[in-house]
Amino acid sequence: MTINTVSIPFLTRTLTHNIELEVKSREEFASMTLRVSSTLQELWTRSKSCPERALFKHSKAMSTLLVFPKNIRIDLSTGKMTNGRLVLVMGHKILSIGFVPFVEEEGIELLQNNFRVIQFHHHRLDSILPIERKGVCEIGKSLFGCPFDAEIKRERGKAVLVNLSLLLLFDCKYSSLALLCYHGPIPPALAVPTLYIKPKSLPIQLEESSPFVEIPHLKDRQLGIMKIPCISYEGFKQKLHVSEIFKDSFVKGKGHLHRANCTSWEDNCLFVFPRDCSVSSQEPFKGGQLFFIQGPHQIEIGFIPERGKQKANREEVYSFHRSFLDSANVVNRFIPIDRCSRLSLGLSTKVCSSPGSGPHLSEVSLFLLSSSKTDFFGLFCKAGEYGLTSMDPLSPGEGCSTSNRLHAFRETEQEEPPKKKVRTEEESAGTSKAVRDEPCPFSAQFVSMRDHSYCSTRHLDTVQTGESTLLSCTSETEEERRAIAVRGLLGLAKQPSQDPSS
């Protein structure tokens, strides 16, 4: 029986659709009409007919992202691609993916460049590493050869792909379209860190100066709390005079050359700090000094850079915490590398404390963002009081699986190494499949430093002890709740009794 179409998923940030891909023979694909601008048509005429490229770089490669030119879209009302044709090409025991540009509207021009290929992002790609990116040619036909074991079969009256998964993705921020090709089943999606409005509470304003202020720290998918020291304005000037990068100028009487870069916070603004500024469990903060400045009228953020740093690369910022930041219309601001910076938080922002939490800011929410893939960090500003949870934007009402929750743990005074789990031979045999099928958990442990100035985060493979507060809620069955209660009662029964008089 002849197979004419194959259905594949099409995902925007929040919506899921299905589109039908036509199945063509080699002869039918070669005869498909090409329609582009006259200039591109001339270039295509002078080029080769249609060379076929391998879809995957080598035999062990698992994923490839094909990024289409600008102005290639999907019409949701019809489920068809506009200004181009994406088809599956059946050859002699070989399956290929073909694309033909076909401009349907006058004045529309297809555009492809390296920037579009690099900056494309969709949160569905977070669970897939590494990904090879390829730009689809806007001049003429493109043909990508699939692995030899990829084929189309009919199962239960429906045409399906075997040993190959295709997922059409739309980047809402840059209006880009791309096709994710995976050799086998695509790994499950990871939950996305998402903002939520904190419930109204009665914060208690601190009358005395607080030694630090706590702000959330999100490193990749690990949530922690960062303690930023609080100093006075005079204390900040003293720090500036003794800093390595500025102290020589003050000694020579040229301190006026280093006036602070003063700016104000903006809603949905990401302040990008210079290179080599990072946070880790071994060195809580390096690359400069970050403070909260408590002035007589307002609170500011002060930053003193170290010597010899460089500004962060804009191309790296394009993919920096995109899944988290794409929900907001973020504006990037780069912190200077040769001047100190002071960021005003406004007259209404105060340092407050609420029951069960440490000193924090009111009226504005700050989030410290870092990644193990970059050597810089960012400070995201949001008007109002927000917290972090995790969810799948495609299924916001379904919550998250247990392994995809964001956890916040209480501080511990001493760091304890995690216990190693002894695995059996049966568990070892299924390790590769478990790693492929299960998403990474969100977890962090907070370790209080001796000087109480910072608090770092560290990833834990398993949660062993400690009370935790879940920032995302999922429904639990009655049996699970009863089992948890029974385990708690058994744990209390095993504890040795204490003499009240002791």
Residues 176 and 201 in one domain: no
List, in sequence order, every residue forming a beta bridge with 301; answer none if it has no partner: 292, 343
54 lies in a domain?
Answer: yes
Residues 42 and 141 in one domain: yes
418 lies in a domain?
Answer: no
How many angstroms separate the CA atoms of 223 and 196, rounded? 15
264 lies in a domain?
Answer: yes
Question: Range with the lowest mean pLDDT among 51-55, 104-108, 120-124, 403-407?
Answer: 403-407
pLDDT at 492: 65
C-beta atoms surrounding 203 within 10 Å: 17
pLDDT at 150: 93
Residues 238 and 364 in one domain: yes
Q: Comparing 278 with 302, which gets the higher pLDDT? A: 302
Residues 145 and 234 in one domain: no
166 lies in a domain?
Answer: yes
Half-sphere exposure of 141 (CA within 13 A, CB side): 21
Domain count for the chain:
2
Residues 16 and 122 in one domain: yes
Domain boundary, last residue among 391, 413, 443:
391
State the pLDDT confidence band at 145, using cuts at 50, 70 and 90: very high
Reported as a single tens digit per residue, the pLDDT across 194-244 is 999 988 766 666 656 788 999 999 998 888 888 899 999 889 888 888 887
Residues 136 and 241 in one domain: no
Residues 160 and 286 in one domain: no
How many angstroms separate the CA atoms of 493 and 491, rounded? 5
Residues 201 and 261 in one domain: yes
Over 60: is that where the pLDDT of 299 sits?
yes
- 200 phi, psi to nearest 5 deg: -65, 130
Q: What's the domain range around 10?
A: 5-182
Over 60: is that where the pLDDT of 91 sits?
yes
Contact present, 314 and 301 (Cβ < 8 Å): no
Contact present, 471 and 223 (Cβ < 8 Å): yes
Domain boundary, last residue among 136, 163, 182:
182
Nearest to residue 271, comparing CAs of 343, 364, 319, 374? 343
151 lies in a domain?
Answer: yes
Reported as a single tens digit per residue, the pLDDT across 480-497 is 666 667 676 676 666 665
101 lies in a domain?
Answer: yes
Contact present, 256 and 267 (Cβ < 8 Å): no
Residues 135 and 204 in one domain: no
Domain boundary, last residue among 391, 424, 452:
391
442 lies in a domain?
Answer: no
Residues 174 and 199 in one domain: no
Average per-residue pLDDT in the chain?
77
Residues 252 and 383 in one domain: yes
pLDDT at 482: 66
Q: What is the b/e burial string over 181-201, where b = at least 16 CB atoms within 10 angstroms of the residue's CB?
A: bbbeebbebbbbbbbeeeeee
Per the listing, tokens 């090879």 go with 132
Over 50: is that where the pLDDT of 181 sits?
yes
191: its two tokens? 């939950």
Reported as a single tens digit per residue, the pLDDT across 429-480 is 444 443 333 333 333 333 333 333 333 333 333 333 333 333 333 344 556 6
Question: Range with the lowest mean pLDDT among 171-175, 361-365, 452-456?
Answer: 452-456
Name the 3-class secondary structure at 26: helix
66 lies in a domain?
Answer: yes
Residues 178 and 259 in one domain: no
